[in-house]
Amino acid sequence: MISVGQPAPNFTLFDSAKNPINLHDFTGKKVVLLFYPLAFTSVCTKELCYVRDNISLFNNVDAQVLGISVDSLYTLAKFKEEQGLNFPLLSDFNKEVSSLYNALYEEFSFNMKGVSKRASFVIDRQGIVRYAQVLEKASDFPDFEAIQSTLATID
């Protein structure tokens, strides 16, 4: 379980443009990790389009949003393009990072195994977790007010 106050576990994942992205690349910047189950599904699309439409709320407080799912790079590239998403989507196809952050369903709908849970983490400029929410129900929506409130408290 990832707890507030602990260092965020580092990772490297590829984004939808096939670039390796390492969490430590963002040291000195606030980071919002948004784990989500599957591209193109209704709640995931609503969540990520909310971020797209409100990206200034994150940019204005020097926060980098990173979306993470177990979808392939190719699926994420198509999803990002079709939805006009303006932040990186990272592929955790091997499920290692979702598992590391305790944000992985062992069993999901339609007998799918190993799908990311909807989860959000705010990481401060020094790499410390300042907010953590892992939702058990995929239909629940992240608490963006709590995320923004946490971001506002980080210098």
Of 8-12, 49-53, 62-66, 115-119, the poorest mean pLDDT is in 115-119
- pLDDT at residue number 15: 98
Q: Is 44 considered catalytic here?
A: yes
The partner residues of 119 in beta bridges, in order of sequence, read 35, 134
Angle between helices 73-83 and 42-53 (to 10 degrees): 60
Q: Which residue has the higher pLDDT, 83 or 138?
A: 83
Catalytic residue (choose from 44, 51, 63, 70): 44
* The two structure tokens encoding residue 98: 């979702």
pLDDT tops 70 at residue 109: no
pLDDT tops 80 at residue 111: no
Which domains are delineated in the chain? 31-153 (3.40.30.10)
d(CA 117, CA 68): 10
- pLDDT at residue number 139: 86
Number of H helices, E strands in the chain: 5, 9
